Amino acid sequence: METKEYKVTLMRDAAAAGHQPGYLLWIGCAGAFDRRYQKVAQAFAKTLIHCGIDFACLGSEETCTGDPARRAGNEMLFQMQALQVIETFKRYNISRIITICPHCFNTFKNEYPDLGGHYEVIHHSQFLQKLVDEGKLNIDKSIFSGQQITFHDPCYLGRANKEYDAPRKVLEAAGIDVMEMPRNKSFALCCGAGGAQMFKEAEPGTKEVYAERTEEALATGAGIVATACPFCMTMITDGLKKASKEESVQNLDIAEIIAQALGI
């Protein structure tokens, strides 16, 4: 097979060339810095390029949305970050944003309007569903069909924003029949990372939240735990390690599943 280069356009280069990209692809701190989630950023960006979507990234002009600061109670830092991001968006005339992180998604969608930032915000699961609906994804269903896959709902995609169907429809499009955990959709159990927990030790207790959730995922008998959030991915991956299942059970983002099914 030929080797293809997937080149991601940067907003600043597009602007210099006088081009206004259709979408901003917001990578988020995890997509940029977390080695595991970089793979998800790559898989999703490749999918967009594969489908000929006109998008660009901010690259080094990205900064934290302020979400973890806000949920850690530091409203001042949150607002400073948010106003800075809103300025950047204004500079590039950005109106449509795709994010690969439900936390960034929620913050842009629900919290930036209070500070004057109004955008059309799309989570990558929703964008993938749109590509499926438009018939732009030529998926080889045989790659995943017959595999045992469960899906863990990220709180900030699910309960926070009532998006339960998009990731499932995307998985379905890849020929996957999702094996639901007992606690799913609005009943889903958190992975334990939200509300800035990702960045701190858990309070004393009898168990780690991620262990509780991973056990539930493993009990379905699935060989792949699909997620759609960088924090969930870190937590479930830790849970798999703790259960010594990291060899036998994979933790994949839905974007990676789609990219694999596309053979890219």
Partner 1 sequence: MIKQIIFGLTLLLTLGVFAYTIWRLGKFFRFTKPYPVGDWGKRIAVFAGVGLAQTKILRRPVVGLMHALVFWGFLVITLGSVEMVIDGLTGSHRFLEVLSPVYTVIVFSGDIFAGIILVLISAFIARRLFMKIKRFYGDEMKPISKIDAYAALSIILLLMVSLLGLNMSWNQLNDQQFSNRLPVSSFLTSLFSSLPDDTVFSLHEVFWWMHILLIFIFANLLPYSKHFHVFTSLPNVLLSRLTPLGKLDHMPAMEKEVRMMMNPDQAFAATTNDAPPERFGVKDVNDVTWKNYLDALACTECGRCTSVCPANITGKKLSPRKIVMDVRARMKEKGPNLVKFGKDFEDGRSLVGDYITAEELWACTTCNACAQECPVNINQPSMIVDMRRYLVLEEAAVPSSLASMLSNIENNGAPWQYPAEEREKWMKELTR
- SS3 label, residue 18: coil
Give yes or no for a contact between 128 and 47, defined as CB atoms under 8 angstroms apart: yes
Q: Which of residues 91-130 bind partner 1 (CB under 8 A)?
A: 106, 109-111, 114-115
Task: Give the binding range for partner 1 (CB under 8 A) out of 25-33, 137-145, 173-181, 241-249.
Answer: 25-33
Q: Which of residues 215-244 bind partner 1 (CB under 8 A)?
A: none
Q: Where are the beta strands (DSSP E) in 106-249?
A: 120-123, 149-151, 224-227
- The helix (H) or strand (E) run that includes residue 66 is none
Size of the site for partner 1 (CB under 8 A): 81
Residues 6+ apart with CB under 8 A from 169: 129, 132
**Pick 12 or 172: Cβ nearer partner 1:** 12
Q: Does 33 bind partner 1 (CB under 8 A)?
A: yes
- Shortest distance in whole angstroms from residue 5 CB to partner 1: 5
Q: Per-residue x/- marks for partner 1, 56-75, CB under 8 A?
A: -xxxxxxxx-x-xxxxxxxx
Task: Give the binding range for partner 1 (CB under 8 A) out of 118-126, 137-145, 170-178, 199-207.
Answer: 199-207
Q: Does 206 bind partner 1 (CB under 8 A)?
A: yes
| Cα-based distances in Å from 228 to 59, 93, 105, 126, 164 | 21, 28, 12, 11, 11
- Shortest distance in whole angstroms from residue 216 CB to partner 1: 11
Residues 6+ apart with CB under 8 A from 236: 152, 191, 210, 213, 214, 217, 225, 227, 251
- Shortest distance in whole angstroms from residue 59 CB to partner 1: 4
**Pick 193 or 249: Cβ nearer partner 1:** 193
Other CB atoms within 10 Å distance of the CB of residue 46: 18
**Pick 172 or 215: Cβ nearer partner 1:** 215
Choose, by CB under 8 A, the member of 6, 19, 182, 221 that binds partner 1: 6
